Every structure is written in C-alpha cells, then in structure tokens.
Amino acid sequence: MIEVRNVSLSFEIGKKDQKQVTPVLKDVSLNVKKGEIVTVVGRSGSGKSTLLNVIGGFIHPKEGQILIDEVDVSGYNEAQFADFRLENMGFIFQSFQLIQSMTAFENVELPLILKGMSEGERRVQTQALLEKVGLWAYKDHYPSELSGGQQQRVSIARALIVNPPLILADEPTGSLDSTTEEELLGLIQSLNQELGITFLIITHDQEVAKIGHRTVEMVDGRLKEGVRI
C-alpha cells in the first residue's frame, strides 16, 4: 500500500545570509502492506510527522521515491496530489481540522461536494457514516457544540466518506481523555477489520502504538524496525 524508498529531506533554517541546513529525514524507507495498521513512534522532533506529511503529499522531498497503492506519486505537483488524495486517502488530525462554520453533516459531506457528487447521493453516504460513528443525532451541531471525542468521530467520518483504502493519522488521540481514546482506538480497529482499511498512525502514546500490527520508531530522522511496545 505504501512504499517509501530512500527518502531524505532537509529544511533551511535562519536568515537568508545565515541559513543552516537541518536534516529531518535521512534515507528513510518504509513498506506498509494493505490491511495493516502500522504505528510510528518517536520523540518530538524526530521526524515522524514530517514523514506523514511527505507520504500525504503536503511536503515534497528532493530525494527518494514514494508509491501509494503501486502508483508512483513522487513527481506529482500540488494539484495532481490533491486529486490523488481526494480519491485515495483519508486524514485524521490531533486538532480535528473541522471547519467551524459548518455542521457535522456539512464537514463530512464536503469531500463529496469536491468530487461533484449529486445532493441525493451525498446525503445517503453522509448519513450512513454519521450513523456508523454514532453521531447522526448530532448532524446539525457545529464543532464548538461537540465534545473532543465527537469532533474526532466527525473527522473520522469525513476521512472515510470517499472510501479510501488508506488513512493517515497524526496523533489522533492527542486531544482526548483516556475513556474517549479507548473508544476511538476500538473504532479504528473495527474499521481495519471490517473494511480492510490500511492505517499509518503517528503517535507518542504507547496505548495507541499497541493497536498496530507493527510498530516502527523514528530516531533523529531514521526509522528503526522491530520496536517492542
């Protein structure tokens, strides 16, 4: 599902005449099979979120190759990658990334509008997903009227609305209490088991890491396999 081949990335930091080159990813390679849940752990600043952004096409490395479901996306420009994401990827963020001026229904529906789907079809699919995550009764609520756990469920429904084979998650439980975290992890596992969705999850939380079929560790921009949690 995901093949990262020898990806390196550096950022330039400082003023124009005093720039320092800081390596963030160092010859990183990673394979994630279809149907796997792979968790990536590591200290803050280790490069794990940068790796997720590279795979998601938000940051473009100058070295290395990335394949998603056997499609080489390494040379995609921003518009091409945006179209590819809309069809093939879902995203879950720690801060939910919901649009505050939209209801739960409208937030989940938005990717289908971008795809040009008819209103009737959008309503059927959006209702089905909000029911699946237990939030149909809250369809007309705005994000500010929902708890953290409910907002994250809305974001999961939005991630699922285009039936993506792959979901990338960056600290998905970071803003949740322990009880809500447990419920969310159970939902992720059921989605993986029932729908075969592949998950790549960035986390510093050992409880989250435990749901992975496999865990890798990012240390100073490099990946280490065989991590025990």
Q: For residues 220 and 214, is the Cβ–Cβ distance under 8 A?
A: no
Distance of alpha carbon 193 from alpha carbon 182, whole angstroms: 17
Note the pLDDT of residue 173: 86
Are β-strands 166-170 and 89-93 bridged in parallel, bridged antiparallel, or unpaired? parallel
Q: For residues 188 and 211, is the Cβ–Cβ distance under 8 A?
A: yes
Give the pLDDT of the chain (229 residues) as one tens digit per residue: 999 999 999 988 777 777 788 899 999 999 999 999 999 999 888 999 999 999 999 999 889 999 999 999 998 999 999 999 988 999 998 888 899 999 999 999 999 999 999 999 999 999 999 998 899 999 999 999 999 999 999 999 999 998 899 999 999 888 888 888 898 899 899 999 999 999 999 998 888 999 999 999 999 999 987 655 4
Distance of alpha carbon 165 from alpha carbon 145, whole angstroms: 31
In the chain the domains, ranked by start, together with CATH numbers, are: 2-224 (3.40.50.300)
144 Cβ contact partners less than 8 Å away, ≥ 6 residues apart: 100
